[in-house]
Amino acid sequence: MIDDFTGRSPSRFALLIFSALILLFTLLFSLPIASSSGTSTPLADAFFTAVSVICVTGLSTVDMATHWSIVGHILVYIGVQIGAVGVLTLASILGMVISRRLGLRAKLMAASDSNPMRGHRGPVAEGQAVRLGEIGSLLATVALSLVVIEVAIAILLFPRMIIDGVPLGDAIWHSFYYSAMAFTNTGFTPNAEGLGTFANDYWFLSTLMLGVFLGALGFPVIYALKRHLFRTRFWSLHVKLTLVTTLILLFLGAGAFALLEYDNAKTFGSLNASDTVFQSIFLSMMTRSGGFASIEIADLNGSSLLVADMLMFIGGGSASTGGGIKVTTLAVIFLAALAEAKGSPDMEAFGRRIPPDVLRVALSVVLWGATIVALSCIILLQMTKAPLDHVLFDVISAFGTVGLSTGLTGELDNPAKYVLAMTMFLGRVGTVTLAAAVAASTTTRLYRRPEERPIVG
């Protein structure tokens, strides 16, 4: 029965398993053994933490460094690994390990994680970032990249921690913790001071940026780069759009932050030119989906908060550890607008034509995302009476599973915590997955209605 349900509706299966994992981790975080004080964590805080961990967001209503015991920290570490890989991909990996093979249904289930458009019933063109026959190799790449990249990042971080005076035992644990939080784009810190200890350590911050960048690319892109790193002619359109759009947003965001914050004494005003450039790049990377911060977010100018809102709403790459509407969604909409401006009937990029149904999905993603953010903002504004810029920032941070906060999240009362937790959940499962799960099965019609054009614009 479960196998049949999984095959008929991978999207609903994903929602079901995500929900079950959140409830399980809520129970585990509520246990006295998980807190450093030895007492039960309040249900609202345990639930919020569970959602933030499984959805690899990074927002918290408790001090993550001091509230949890070693058991609690281990639960956080395990939870973000599960959330980063994706429920359907993880289930397929486990099935492949157990059965030593990967059946067609398991391939289809995993494929819907690597490309949410496969979650819809009906024919799907095989010109995808990862073809169906390559799903087995992709799953192996996911498992290996998760381990190899996190270990490599930890090895790069460890010497700096020793140099900065962190005790040996803590340095080992913190290295792996930081590497996991960077690659999964979660942004939790294991030490009470957060990144304050390493705010001027550019090796440490650059290593974190590398981990966040790789995690935000998406596993299909990592798989393609592993196979054809220096042979760009073999890169798919998805890989090219993801890399180009990611780099453009990174440097545009950095330029905006440098321009808007250079005279802000609370942020970059006291820094020299090179430090301002580096910190701007770091902030631009972290507002995309990373969640680490070397400055107080509340100290940013309102204009910078708005720029950060836009970057967080876009998020990372498809099938990545980042959230948001995804960079390829933005790229497709931009290409559609460019084609309309040029009077071209087709959307084209890198010598390829993009079919119209991809644009429909992209527009649906943006509309669903904007609706979720708007509703959550209205509810929280009414509940908290907080300033709009702070509420908007934390809501988009939750939807984009970024984890940065103006300080509002830590001050929420219990009902508001549940609202923000649901925003994180909806942002992580993905708007396409959500729509596919809610919608009924696609039906085939043998007729079409007469066409008529309304006035637009």
* Cα of 374 vs its chain's centroid, Å: 19
> Which pTM was predicted?
0.87
pLDDT of residue 127: 39
The model's confidence at residue 434, banded by pLDDT at 50, 70 and 90, is low
Is pLDDT above 60 for 404?
yes
Classify burial at 119, counting beta carbons within 10 Å of its beta carbon; exposed 0-12, middle 13-18, buried 19 or more.
buried
Mean pLDDT, rounded, for 219-228? 82
What's the CA gap between 129 and 324, in Å, rounded?
19
Band (146; pLDDT cuts 50, 70, 90):
confident
Question: Is the predicted pLDDT of residue 245 greater than 80, yes or no?
Answer: yes
Q: For residues 443 and 233, which has the higher predicted lDDT (pLDDT)?
A: 233
- Concatenated DSSP letters of 38-49: SSPPPHHHHHHH
Give mean pLDDT, residues 381-405: 95
Is the residue at 192 inside a domain? yes
Region 145-173: mean pLDDT is 91
Rg (CA), the chain: 22
CA 384, 385, 389, 392 torsion: positive or negative?
Answer: positive
pLDDT of the residue at 97: 45
Q: Which residue has the higher pLDDT, 98 or 56?
A: 56
Q: 89-98, 212-221, 343-352, 393-402 — which is least confidently predicted?
A: 89-98
Within-domain flag for 260: yes
Contact 434, 112 (CB under 8 A): no
Q: Give a yes or no: residue 454 inside a domain.
A: no
User: What is the per-residue pLDDT across 288-338, written as a single tens digit (0 to 9) for each?
Assistant: 888 999 899 999 999 999 999 999 999 988 878 888 899 999 999 999 999
**pLDDT tops 90 at residue 17:** no
Q: What is the pLDDT of residue 87?
A: 53
- For residue 398, give both structure tokens: 């939750």
pLDDT at 260 over 90: yes
Inform me whether the pLDDT recorded for 105 exceeds 60. Answer: no
For residues 28 and 433, which has the higher predicted lDDT (pLDDT)? 28
State yes or no: pLDDT of 78 exceeds 70: yes
How many separate domains does the chain show? 1
Q: Identify the domain containing residue 152 by its residue range.
A: 2-120+131-440
Residue 233 has pLDDT above 90, yes or no: no
Q: pLDDT: is 124 or 9 the higher one?
A: 9
Portion of the chain with pLDDT greater than 90, in percent: 56
pLDDT mean over 139-166 = 86
d(CA 121, CA 443): 9
pLDDT at 149 over 60: yes
pLDDT given at position 90: 55
* 412 within domain boundaries: yes
* Model pLDDT for residues 28-67, shown as the tens digit of each residue: 999 999 999 999 999 999 999 999 999 999 999 999 999 9
The pLDDT of 150-156, averaged and rounded, is 95
Quick check: is 221 in a domain? Answer: yes
Residue 35, Ramachandran bin (φ over 0: left; ψ between -120 and 50: alpha; else beta): beta
> What's residue 6's pLDDT?
53
440 band by pLDDT with thresholds 50, 70 and 90: very low
Asked if residue 191 has pLDDT above 60, the reply is yes
Kindly state the average pLDDT of the residues 113-134: 45
Is it the case that residue 372 has pLDDT exceeding 70?
yes
Residue 172 pLDDT grade (very low, low, confident, very high; cuts 50, 70, 90) = very high
Higher pLDDT, residue 92 or 248? 248
Kindly state the average pLDDT of the residues 90-119. Answer: 46
| Residue 32 to residue 405: CA distance in whole angstroms | 27
Residue 256 corresponds to which amino acid? A
Contact predicate 85/434, CB 8 Å:
no
pLDDT of residue 211: 94
